[in-house]
Each structure stands twice: as structure tokens, then as C-alpha cells.
Amino acid sequence: MKVCHLTSVHPADDIRIFVKECQSLRQAGHEVFLVAANADSHIHNGIHVIGVESRSKSRFTRMIGTTWKVYKESLKVDADVYHFHDPELIGIALLLKKNGKKVIYDVHEDVPEQVLSKKWIPIGMRKIVSIGARHAEKFASKRFDSVIAATPTIANRFKMYNPNTFTVHNFPIVNELSGESENHGEKEANFLYIGGITALRGVREMAKAIELLNETHKGTLTLAGHFSPKGLKEELKNASGWRHIDHKGWLGRNEIKTELSKAVAGLVLLHPEPRYKVSYPIKLFEYMSAGIPAIASHFPLWREFVEDNQCGICVDPLDPSEIRDAMKWMIEHPFEARKMGENGRRAVLENFNWERESERLIQMYQSLEKVEDATLEPYPL
């Protein structure tokens, strides 16, 4: 089939969208297009990337102007299936459905829960926005041909609206990030965090933990990602623990692979927000894929992954002393820590990998090829 992915938020080289889904679909024989904001139009690995310009300075103007540009470009593609990735594209997705196209909603996050902690939404409006988002997703998803959910928790909600809902986890590609780990020996221990750097993702606690660690052991915290907001970086630079932090900024996948090979352990210490407690953190599985142990938040769901597979230590993400103690254990028990890394790698090879998830994605597309597109009753836009 001719398939067109749509995003107004994610970059054109997004790992889930481009590297995993688009490339898997192309390898399965589909002709694949990707319409993305702020990208140059080009062909990469056989995928036709169509860039739309977005100079919007505010979220509201982006949601209106950029989404409409995405819609106009998507019509030119004239695809058989449109696969969109952002809730702000629900409106144009309904228009595409109205035009007789097959439409798939790929739900990366639990949006109603997510907006409850969005700083840019006035606190008094968050619950109203959350309820509105839930109703919008319920109304629209009933009319789409399929829904793909990144976690079982999200999938369970959407199955109430659309029985053709599939879970496709965002697990790592088996050999993308694995490599030979360096022999640390007497070297200064390096702990690694990959991803967006925010307060809710635990950067303050990580910074305090590395400061406490250096009272008895030498250690460095490497941060790979962008700070948000930028003022958070300035705050931490004024803290005493900053001298033990190496902020790399945004890194490409090969650079991340290099940093993983140097790390004693990877950190994934999200705060106990409701949406985080039921999430499947890609960082955790990337650490496992690279064969390094994880120090992770002690959420019940995460404990299942970490403790059942004996691939790391779970701690209270709000307690820097507990994080410090886990770091000390990794340094003082190198053999056991290396064994944890091996256990995590084995679990990814056997269960938590994109190769298995891509089979489910391809099967879902095959089901769309076989089913006649249902004629829907008219509905108000």
C-alpha cells in the first residue's frame, strides 16, 4: 500500500516514527511517505520525507497553521493509509477519513494524564483541558480504522472506543546500541542519563546524588539531551554538584552508543506522576539493550522489568541519598553490576525488542488491506 505518516511535533528522524515504523513498513513492501514539520524534503533509506515550514512562535498558532500545512501536503500524497502521531492532528485526520482514506492514530502518550502536569497550561484549566482531550480522542478514535498504542495501559482505554486497537511497544532495535563496554578498572565511574532533561524526569535528584557520591567515591554524571526550560540548566550550574556533571547536549545515535559503552549504569528516575507510573520508558530498555544495568524509579510496573530480569536497582526517585547508595553499589560490585547488564541484554534479545513489535505492526497493516473500508454515517466536524 501507499502509506503516509504525519507529524507536526516530532522531528523527521524520530526514532519511533522514522527509524522503526517507517523503515519496517518499507521493508515489508509498502511505499512510505512522511510529512513532518521543520524538515527538508528528501528521500532517505527509500522513505519520501516531505517537509512543511513551521515558523510558529506559539503552540496555538502551530496547532492551527502547521497542522493545516501538514493536511495540504498529505492530500498531495494521495495515500491509501494515513498514520498520524500527534493529538493536535486529530482534526485533519477526521477530514482525511471523511475523504475516504484509511486512518491510523498512533498514541505515544496518555494525553489526558499528560496535560495535568503541563506547565504551559494554567493550573486552573488543566482538568478541563484533560477532560476535553479524553472526549476528543474517544469521539475520533471510534471513526478511525485502527489505533496503535505505545503501552498496554493506553491500549486498554482505546479498546473501549475502537476494538481494532493494537499495542506496539517502543522497544529498542536489537543491535542498534549494543557494543563492547569499556573496562572501567580504576577509572572514574560514569553514570549516564539519556533524554529530555527536566525537573519531572529527576535531574535535580540526579545532580544531588552525584554530589553526595563524590564525598566517598569518584563519579561523573553524563547528561545527553536538552534542558527544559533552559533556566533549569542555569540553576544547576550554580549548584555544587555541577562540577561532577558532563552535559553533552543532544547526541546522535552513534554518539549515544559510545556513551553507553562508557557507562557503569544508566539512570531513569522519573517522578511518580500518574502517567509515568504506567509508562514503558524507552531509556530503560535502551540501557538493557546496551548491556548496562539501570538505576530506575521504584514504580510497581518498572520493578517487574528491573527486578524480575535482575537487570538493575529500583530506588525512590525523590531521594538523592537512595540514588547515591545505588551508584555506590554499582561501583563497589563491578562483577554483579556487569551480570545485571548481561541479564538486561538477554531480556531484550528474548522479549523486549523492536523486531518482535514490528511483526505486530505489519500484521495490523495486513488486516487493513483485507478489510473493506466501512462507510460511516455523517458526523459533525
Confidence at residue 286, expressed as pLDDT on a 0 to 100 scale: 96
For the chain, the average pLDDT equals 92
Mean pLDDT within 110-120: 84
**Residue 373 binned pLDDT confidence (cut-offs 50, 70, 90):** very low
179 exposure class (CB count in 10 Å sphere: 0-12, 13-18, 19+): middle
Burial class (CB in 10 A: 0-12, 13-18, 19+), 240: exposed
- pLDDT digits 0-9 by tens, 79-94: 999 999 999 999 999 9
State the pLDDT at residue 182.
Answer: 55
Q: 165-217, pLDDT tens digit by residue?
A: 999 999 999 989 876 655 544 446 999 999 999 999 999 999 999 999 999 99
Above 90 in pLDDT, residue 56? no
Q: What is the pLDDT of residue 183?
A: 53
Q: Domains in the chain, please, with CATH?
A: 2-171+354-370 (3.40.50.2000), 189-350 (3.40.50.2000)
Phi, psi of 237 (to 5 degrees): -65, -25
pLDDT digit string, tens, across residues 320-341: 999 999 999 999 999 999 999 9
Per the confidence metrics, is the pTM higher than 0.85?
Answer: yes
pLDDT at 375: 40
- Given a cut of 50, whether residue 162 has pLDDT beyond it is yes
Of the two residues 268 and 113, the one the predictor is more confident about is 268
Residues 230-257 pLDDT 10s: 899 999 999 989 999 999 999 999 999 9
Region 336-349: what's the mean pLDDT?
97
For residue 46, pLDDT over 70 is answered with yes
Provide the percentage of residues in the chain whose pLDDT is more than 70.
Answer: 92
What does the pLDDT look like over 101-110, one tens digit per residue? 999 999 999 9
Question: Does pLDDT of 61 surpass 80?
Answer: no
The model's confidence at residue 360, banded by pLDDT at 50, 70 and 90, is very high
Structure confidence at residue 381 as a pLDDT band (50, 70, 90): very low
Q: What is the CA radius of gyration of the chain?
A: 22
**pLDDT value for 54:** 77
pLDDT for 11 beyond 60: yes
Window from 75-84, 112-121, 145-154 with minimum mean pLDDT = 112-121
Which residues make Cβ contacts (< 8 Å) with residue 204, sequence separation at least 6?
Answer: 236
pLDDT digits (tens, 9 = 90+) for 261-297: 999 999 999 999 988 998 999 999 999 999 999 999 9
> Of 321, 320, 299, nearest to 312 (Cα)?
299
Torsion of CA 223, 228, 232, 237, to 10 degrees: 30
Please name the residue ranges forming H helices in the chain.
23-27, 59-61, 67-77, 90-98, 111-114, 126-141, 152-159, 203-213, 230-237, 253-262, 274-277, 282-290, 300-308, 320-332, 334-350, 354-370
Note the pLDDT of residue 186.
45
Q: Residue 117: what pLDDT?
A: 79
